[in-house]
């Protein structure tokens, strides 16, 4: 009766919780109003930024107008561009001539990406990965827009200079490409393109012997490119007191995947300490880290399936790293990433600083190829070696081998599940055999329960039970240990599948993308169930049903133990129902794998039942009972405890 009341109570609590959440959820009209408020806040923030930019522009215009009045008064003529440069001399010193210029763009394309370089900042302003598409089948733009901020800051004649806002001039090391705005390279060939920031020779010209050069080296079939900063004749332009230059890279990442929620949960900022481990900022929270007196080898703006990495040849010092989830703004904004770090600089001795940049997929073998621990960005369960090994030496090789053969990934997951279940079959057999032994002993356990009914007899009952197990040759933990050995596999899959780029946009049956949720029905009019979502995932539903059935079968196999813990037994049935809510927005490939694992477990149980003779097992246990057995250390300790309490241990 208490078991029935427990079930009814839990169901009522669950129903009240769902009902309360549903009633307290905002209506469609409230959601629309909330969206308008959010959009309004975003527009207000944008207007503030616009007003600030306008104020700066007005201030510059007034400064230019004053300069123009001086020339007009003297009867001289001068163009507006020169006036702007002259008005910035006080703020930028030798770099004043680079304050104004024309926005020009240059494109370098290799086999895997297309890079757009911009004159303002001399930086990469846009990265398109050619072999991938966004979830809505548009070109996959990994990085772009006015939100991108990339440059070096340093002191020049006691002024702070930031290259991000200054205009560079193009340079073509290879005369064959000179003057080209579109350059292509393929295969094993490489191509170099440079952007140079010159100092001023006078008010209207540049000093061609003094410049900072951003030199980019792009190889034909590589996601990695070289980024070298060269300093030519900069002894006077950069103050000797600069011990390091500050590299700043800020960007607002864009939504590339079907589920914005899942992508935000798997996107963050990673970094590797120099000669040490890889670390990261937690995905689910906004955080800033200032690693004072620390050195890092690289940092990365990591998204669910793609990453942008800056790697130092030597190291970056005292980095300040931050992630921020936008509270408002366009729906395609994923996260804001901010990184700032020092580049060691020693004046005349520093002629160049070497770095590399990676723009590409989070693919294990691709990242591991560089031998920089970049693959640690893929969540393979690095915190526990066994989970990492399962993914590295089992899952990824199977995915790679059969994927290269062109097999559908739904079939590959089936093959993987069969292989794992085959390897684990001895464990499954041992688990079932242990359960069968426990079922055979159930009448004897029931007799002991009837014999020892008083509370003070609990120790006697435990001692008698252990004695029974010992005589029968049964280890009550034999069924639990195999299950614990299988647990790392379940967690390893849970970590890897949602981040497996191999599954990205791979369809199977009704699922259009095995890396994201499958949907057989979407609630109309924007309706969404609390904690569940606005759609029905069939793989998650089938996985839940199969888990309930598995729980039922396991309950029958281990019934003698679970009868003593009715609350735990009820919870075991509630867990699969909770899975339905957790997995509805998760990777459909993962739900499909768990479904297959349950179905194959059912098949294994059927096969084992067909070959395991429980009557013969019962006869063996009865024979074991008649043998004289040596007392175990645990049993001896129980008897000693009983004697200390004055309890007789005679049977």
Q: What's the CATH code of the domain at 361? A: 2.70.98.90
Q: How far apart are the first and last CA of the chain?
A: 33
- The pLDDT score that the predictor gives to residue 3 is 46
Residues 366 and 471 in one domain: no
Alpha-carbon distance 480 to 558, whole Å?
11
Indicate the pLDDT class of residue 2, thresholds 50, 70 and 90.
very low
Residues 437 and 532 in one domain: yes
Among the three residues 355, 378, 401, which one is the final residue of a domain in this structure?
A: 378
- The pLDDT score that the predictor gives to residue 146 is 65
Among the three residues 359, 378, 397, which one is the final residue of a domain in this structure?
A: 378
Percent of the chain with pLDDT over 90: 34
More confident residue, 460 or 229: 229
Instruction: Kindly tell me if the per-residue pLDDT of 306 is higher than 90.
Output: yes
Residues 372 and 406 in one domain: no
Instruction: Kindly tell me if the per-residue pLDDT of 259 is higher than 70.
Output: yes
Is there a domain that residue 548 lies in?
yes
CB 302 within 8 A of CB 375: no
Residues 366 and 431 in one domain: no
User: SS3 for 375-412, per residue?
Assistant: HHHCCCCCCCHHHHHHHHHHHHHHHHHHHHCCCCHHHH
Virtual torsion, Cα 587, 590, 591, 592, nearest 10 deg: 120
For residue 337, what are its two tokens?
Answer: 């990433």
What are the distances in angstroms from CA 140 to CA 13, 143, 258? Answer: 46, 9, 13
Of 289-303, 362-376, 478-492, 576-590, least confident by mean pLDDT is 478-492
Q: What H or E segment, with its residue span, contains residue 19? A: helix 2-24
Phi and psi, residue 586, nearest 5° = -95, 180
Instruction: Kindly tell me if the per-residue pLDDT of 38 is higher than 50.
Output: no
What total number of domains does the chain contain? 2
Is there a domain that residue 635 lies in?
no
Indicate the pLDDT class of residue 54, thresholds 50, 70 and 90.
very low
Residues 440 and 584 in one domain: yes
Is there a domain that residue 44 lies in?
no
- Top mean pLDDT of 37-46, 588-597, 631-640 is at 588-597
- The pLDDT score that the predictor gives to residue 475 is 66
Within 10 angstroms of residue 616's Cβ, the number of other Cβ atoms is 9
Residues 392 and 350 in one domain: no
Residues 366 and 412 in one domain: no
Q: What is the mean pLDDT of residues 581-606?
A: 87
Indicate the pLDDT class of residue 161, thresholds 50, 70 and 90.
confident
Pairing assessment for the beta strands 352-361 and 190-200 based on DSSP bridges: unpaired
- The pLDDT score that the predictor gives to residue 15 is 53
Q: What is the mean pLDDT of residues 590-613?
A: 85
Alpha-carbon distance 87 to 83, whole Å?
6
DSSP calls for 107-163: EEE-SSEEEEEETBTSSEEEEEEEEEE-TTSSEEEEEESTT-EEEEEEEETTEEEEG
Alpha-carbon distance 581 to 603, whole Å?
27
- Top mean pLDDT of 324-328, 336-340, 423-427, 476-480 is at 336-340
CB 159 within 8 A of CB 142: no
- The pLDDT score that the predictor gives to residue 623 is 66
Instruction: Kindly tell me if the per-residue pLDDT of 273 is higher than 90.
Output: yes
Residues 501 and 476 in one domain: yes
More confident residue, 276 or 467: 276
More confident residue, 386 or 135: 135
The 10s digit of each residue's pLDDT in 204-214 is 788 898 999 99
Question: Average pLDDT over the chain, rounded to whole?
Answer: 79
Helix and strand numbers (H, E) in the chain are: 18, 21
Indicate the pLDDT class of residue 59, thresholds 50, 70 and 90.
low
Tell me the β-bridge partners of 539. Answer: none
Instruction: Kindly tell me if the per-residue pLDDT of 561 is higher than 70.
Output: no
Residues 390 and 374 in one domain: no
Tell me the β-bridge partners of 296. Answer: 273, 316
Is there a domain that residue 61 lies in?
no
Is there a domain that residue 47 lies in?
no
Indicate the pLDDT class of residue 485, thresholds 50, 70 and 90.
low
Instruction: Kindly tell me if the per-residue pLDDT of 77 is higher than 80.
Output: no
Is there a domain that residue 147 lies in?
yes
Is there a domain that residue 581 lies in?
yes
Q: At what angle do helices 588-611 and 480-496 cross, to 10 degrees?
A: 160
- The pLDDT score that the predictor gives to residue 358 is 97
- Strand, coil or helix: 366: helix
Tell me the β-bridge partners of 226. Answer: 217, 356
Burial (CB count within 10 angstroms: exposed 0-12, middle 13-18, buried 19+), residue 53: exposed
Collect all residues with Cβ–Cβ distance below 8 Å to 21 and sequence separation of at least 6. Answer: 530, 531
User: SS3 for 578-638, per residue?
Assistant: HHHHHHCCCCHHHHHHHHHHHHHHHHHHHHHHHHCCHHHHHHHHHHHHCCCCCCCHHHHHH
Q: What is the mean pLDDT of residues 135-161?
A: 86
CA 187 to chain centre: 31
- The pLDDT score that the predictor gives to residue 58 is 47
Pairing assessment for the beta strands 182-184 and 105-109 based on DSSP bridges: parallel
- The pLDDT score that the predictor gives to residue 390 is 87
What are the distances in angstroms from CA 538 to CA 510, 535, 572? Answer: 9, 10, 22
Instruction: Kindly tell me if the per-residue pLDDT of 42 is higher than 60.
Output: no
- The pLDDT score that the predictor gives to residue 386 is 80
Q: Look up the domain containing 593 and give its range.
A: 386-625
Collect all residues with Cβ–Cβ distance below 8 Å to 604 and sequence separation of at least 6. Answer: 421, 425, 428, 432
Indicate the pLDDT class of residue 525, thresholds 50, 70 and 90.
confident
Residues 347 and 281 in one domain: yes
Instruction: Kindly tell me if the per-residue pLDDT of 446 is higher than 80.
Output: no
Q: Which residue has the tokens 């957790």?
A: 582
Biggest CA-to-CA distance, the chain: 123
Is there a domain that residue 16 lies in?
no
Residues 372 and 402 in one domain: no
Residues 170 and 287 in one domain: yes
């Amino acid at each position: 009766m208490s078991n029935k009341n427990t079930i009814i109570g839990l169901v009522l609590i669950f129903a009240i919780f769902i009902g309360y959440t549903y009633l307290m959820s905002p209506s469609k009209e409230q959601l629309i109003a909330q969206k308008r408020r959010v959009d309004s806040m975003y527009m207000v923030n944008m207007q503030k930024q616009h007003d600030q930019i306008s104020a700066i522009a007005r201030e510059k215009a007034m400064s230019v107008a004053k300069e123009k009045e001086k020339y007009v008064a003297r009867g001289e003529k001068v163009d507006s561009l020169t006036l702007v440069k002259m008005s910035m001399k006080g703020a930028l010193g030798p770099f004043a001539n680079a304050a104004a210029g024309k926005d020009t763009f240059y494109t370098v394309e290799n086999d895997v990406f297309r890079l757009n370089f911009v004159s303002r900042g001399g930086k990469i302003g846009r990265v398109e990965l050619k072999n991938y598409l966004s979830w809505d089948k548009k070109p996959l733009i990994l990085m772009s827009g006015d939100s991108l901020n990339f440059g070096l800051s340093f002191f020049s004649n006691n002024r702070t200079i930031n290259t991000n806002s200054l205009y560079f001039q193009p340079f073509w090391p290879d005369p064959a490409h000179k003057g080209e705005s579109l350059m292509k390279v393929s295969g094993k060939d490489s191509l170099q393109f440079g952007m140079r920031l010159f100092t001023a020779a006078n008010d209207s010209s540049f000093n061609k012997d003094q410049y900072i050069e951003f030199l980019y080296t792009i190889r034909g079939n590589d996601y990695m490119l070289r980024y070298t900063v060269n300093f030519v004749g900069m002894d006077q332009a950069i103050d000797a007191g600069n011990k390091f230059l500050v590299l700043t890279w800020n960007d607002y990442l864009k939504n590339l995947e079907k589920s914005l929620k899942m992508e935000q949960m798997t996107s963050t900022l990673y970094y590797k300490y120099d000669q040490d481990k890889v670390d990261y900022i937690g995905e689910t929270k906004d955080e800033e880290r200032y690693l004072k007196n620390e050195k890092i080898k690289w940092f990365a703006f990591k998204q669910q399936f793609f990453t942008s990495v800056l790697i130092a040849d030597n190291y970056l010092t005292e980095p300040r790293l931050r992630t921020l989830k936008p509270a408002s703004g366009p729906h395609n904004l994923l996260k804001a990433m901010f990184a700032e770090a020092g580049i060691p600089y020693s004046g005349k001795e520093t002629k160049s600083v070497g770095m590399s940049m990676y723009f590409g997929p989070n693919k294990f073998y691709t990242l591991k190829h560089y031998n920089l621990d970049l693959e640690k960005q893929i969540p393979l369960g690095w915190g526990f070696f066994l989970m990492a090994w399962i993914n590295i030496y089992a899952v990824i090789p199977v995915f790679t081998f059969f994927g290269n053969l062109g097999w559908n990934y739904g079939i590959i997951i089936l093959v993987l599940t069969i292989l794992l279940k085959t390897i684990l079959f001895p464990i499954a057999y041992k688990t079932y055999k242990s359960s069968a032994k426990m079922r055979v002993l159930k009448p004897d356990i029931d007799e002991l329960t009837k014999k020892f009914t008083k509370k003070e007899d609990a120790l006697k009952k435990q001692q008698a039970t252990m004695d029974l197990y010992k005589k029968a040759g049964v280890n009550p933990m034999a069924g639990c240990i195999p299950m614990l050995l299988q647990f790392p596999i379940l967690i390893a899959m849970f970590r890897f599948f949602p981040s497996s780029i191999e599954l990205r946009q791979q369809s199977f049956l009704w699922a259009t993308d095995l890396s994201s949720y499958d949907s057989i029905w979407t609630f109309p009019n924007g309706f969404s169930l609390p904690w569940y979502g606005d759609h029905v995932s069939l793989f998650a539903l089938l996985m839940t049903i199969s888990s309930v059935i598995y729980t039922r079968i396991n309950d029958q196999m281990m019934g003698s133990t679970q009868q003593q813990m009715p609350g735990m037994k009820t919870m075991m049935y509630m867990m699969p129902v909770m899975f339905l809510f957790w997995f509805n927005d998760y990777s459909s490939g993962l739900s499909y794998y768990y479904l297959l694992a349950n179905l194959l477990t059912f098949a294994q149980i059927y096969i084992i039942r067909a070959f395991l003779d429980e009557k013969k097992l019962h006869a063996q246990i009865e024979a074991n009972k008649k043998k004289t057995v040596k007392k175990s250390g645990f049993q001896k300790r129980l008897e000693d405890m009983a004697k200390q309490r004055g309890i007789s241990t005679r049977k």
